[in-house]
């Protein structure tokens, strides 16, 4: 059997070989992958894992480190991207072997979750990842224009593109909007500075709504022929009117279709009708179950107390999570536990002897599309 050495990169020359491998396997040129790495504030050679055979790099998995908000708490998370193996080396389960070894290291480094995006979920389900369904919203542009024209406008908004001096206000708006959601990436200063710069050089729309000299909301979008794709639309608490104005500004006469990659409870949907399409490309895995249990227990106990119930006891074993509440006990699979954690208790779990709807209230899940890798 052929021997493979699994490790992280040692020097920049090996990164060049990795980019060449990615260009060989995927339709994009290697500059596409290099640009993605340039946007990452936490990327280093140690975050690229490879399988090596006779001195040649034959398989790669790149890790994108960041933290996410879940139940208002930050969790260190490993994004998995740029997974590729040369055609002649497929069949050796190299990416699964890389993922397993990388996961062991990530757990020691304090990572709690892992997330990836794929059109082949079955491949990653075998390695312990679970799909989290989320809706994408389709809107007819003519109908949206009619709906928004009925809303009374009483302010003159100033629309502008951001510059580096705006990063602090953008970060504040983003955190105010996103911290109440489950799954969004936590973004720091370097992130915003790089995003502002990169969106100036590409065919992207990054727009601010200002009133009285102060930024109240922002939008990130793109136009593809007659289609408008809205990636982000965030505002401060009570800033629904500024988000509506941004939406109308993006909606020029050439737009016929709108795709909103926004959380389900976004206030913009109260002003127009839309069609939801469920996607299952987001996949999550718990890589440190002990830390999840430790972090969640105080939250679950508090939710129980507010409901007038005794403390809940949470434990895990393998792919099972056990809930004990007084004399009642129920075990669910990790896939269901993740869904509860990110989206709230499912219909199947509501009404059981253990009130999952109290422990896991309905929540909006989002991992913003601009952060996909």
Query: pLDDT tens digits, residue range 354-372?
Result: 788 889 999 999 999 999 9
Q: Which domain holds residue 346?
A: 284-359
Considering the domain architecture, whether residues 275 and 147 belong to the same structural domain is answered as: yes
What is the overall mean pLDDT for the chain? 92
Burial 226-264 (b: 16+ CB within 10 A, else e): eebbbbbbbbbeebbbbbbbbbbebbeeebeebbbbbbb
Q: SS in 3 state form for 78-137? A: EEEEEEEECHHHCCCCHHHHHHHHHHHHHHHCCCCEEEEECCCHHHHHCCCCEEEEEEEE
200 vs 99, residue with greater confidence: 99
Considering the domain architecture, whether residues 30 and 157 belong to the same structural domain is answered as: no
Within a domain: 121: no
Residue 204: CATH number of its domain: 3.40.630.30
Q: What residues form DSSP beta bridges with 75?
A: 68
Query: Which of 261, 281, 301 delimits the end of a domain?
Result: 281
At 243 the pLDDT is 94
At 205 the pLDDT is 95
Considering the domain architecture, whether residues 90 and 169 belong to the same structural domain is answered as: no
Considering the domain architecture, whether residues 216 and 252 belong to the same structural domain is answered as: yes
- Our count of domains for the chain comes to 3
Considering the domain architecture, whether residues 314 and 277 belong to the same structural domain is answered as: no
Within a domain: 365: no
User: Would you call 13 helix, strand, or coil by DSSP?
Assistant: helix
Report the distance separating Cα 326 and Cα 324, nearest Å: 6
DSSP 352: S
Within a domain: 364: no
pLDDT band at 151 (very low <50, low <70, confident <90, very high): low
User: Would you call 60 helix, strand, or coil by DSSP?
Assistant: strand
Within a domain: 94: yes
Q: Give the pLDDT confidence of 50-80 residue by residue, as tens digits.
A: 999 999 999 999 999 999 999 999 999 999 9
Within a domain: 298: yes
At 1 the pLDDT is 52
Considering the domain architecture, whether residues 159 and 41 belong to the same structural domain is answered as: no
Q: Give the pLDDT confidence of 232-284 residue by residue, as tens digits.
A: 999 998 888 999 999 999 998 899 999 999 999 999 998 889 999 999 999 99
Report the distance separating Cα 210 and Cα 216, nearest Å: 6
Considering the domain architecture, whether residues 87 and 179 belong to the same structural domain is answered as: no
- Whether 306 shows a pLDDT value over 90: the answer reads no
Considering the domain architecture, whether residues 267 and 176 belong to the same structural domain is answered as: yes
Query: Which of 249, 281, 313 delimits the end of a domain?
Result: 281
Considering the domain architecture, whether residues 263 and 165 belong to the same structural domain is answered as: yes
At 328 the pLDDT is 83
pTM beyond 0.85: the answer is: yes
Query: Which of 251, 281, 311 delimits the end of a domain?
Result: 281
- Beta carbons within 10 angstroms of residue 273's beta carbon: 11
Considering the domain architecture, whether residues 216 and 311 belong to the same structural domain is answered as: no
Q: Give the pLDDT confidence of 313-334 residue by residue, as tens digits.
A: 899 999 999 998 878 889 999 9
Half-sphere exposure in the Cβ direction for 365 (13 Å, CA): 23
Within a domain: 18: yes
Considering the domain architecture, whether residues 48 and 107 belong to the same structural domain is answered as: yes
Please enumerate in sequence order all residues whose Cβ is within 8 A of that of 356, keeping only pairs 6 or more positions apart, or say none: 323, 340, 345, 349, 350
- Whether 152 shows a pLDDT value over 60: the answer reads no
């Amino acid at each position: 059997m052929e021997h493979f050495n699994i490790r992280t990169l040692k020097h920049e020359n090996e990164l060049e070989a990795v980019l060449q491998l990615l260009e060989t396997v995927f339709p994009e040129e290697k500059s596409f992958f290099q640009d993605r790495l340039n946007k990452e504030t936490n990327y280093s050679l140690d975050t690229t894992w490879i399988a090596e055979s006779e001195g040649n790099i034959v398989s790669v998995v790149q890790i994108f480190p960041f933290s996410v908000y879940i139940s208002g708490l930050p969790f260190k998370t490993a994004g998995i991207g740029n997974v590729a193996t040369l055609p002649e080396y497929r069949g050796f389960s190299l990416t699964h072997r890389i993922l397993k070894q990388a996961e062991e290291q990530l757990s020691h480094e304090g990572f709690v979750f892992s997330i990836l995006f794929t059109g082949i979920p079955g491949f990653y389900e075998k390695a312990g990842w679970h799909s989290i369904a989320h809706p994408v919203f389709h809107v007819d542009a003519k109908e949206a224009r009619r709906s928004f024209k009925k809303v009374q406008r009483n302010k003159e908004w100033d629309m502008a593109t951001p510059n580096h001096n705006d990063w602090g206000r953008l970060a504040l708006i983003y955190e105010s909007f996103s911290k109440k959601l489950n799954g969004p990436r936590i973004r720091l200063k370097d992130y915003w500075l790089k995003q502002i710069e990169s969106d100036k050089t590409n065919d992207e729309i990054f727009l601010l709504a200002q009133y009285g000299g102060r930024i109240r909301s922002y939008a990130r979008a793109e136009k593809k022929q007659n289609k408008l794709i809205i990636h982000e639309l965030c505002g401060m608490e009570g800033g629904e009117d500024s988000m509506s104005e941004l939406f109308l500004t993006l909606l020029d006469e050439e737009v016929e279709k709108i795709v909103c990659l926004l959380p389900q409870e976004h206030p913009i949907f109260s002003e127009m009708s839309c069609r939801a399409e469920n996607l299952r490309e987001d996949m999550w895995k718990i890589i440190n179950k002990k830390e999840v249990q430790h972090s969640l227990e105080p939250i679950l106990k508090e939710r129980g107390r507010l409901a007038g119930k005794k403390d809940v006891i949470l434990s895990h074993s393998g792919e099972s999570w056990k809930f004990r509440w007084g004399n009642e006990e129920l075990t669910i699979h990790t896939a269901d536990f993740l869904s509860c954690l990110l989206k709230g208790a499912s219909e199947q779990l509501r009404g059981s002897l253990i009130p999952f709807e109290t422990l896991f209230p309905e929540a909006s899940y989002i991992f913003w599309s601009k952060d996909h890798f």
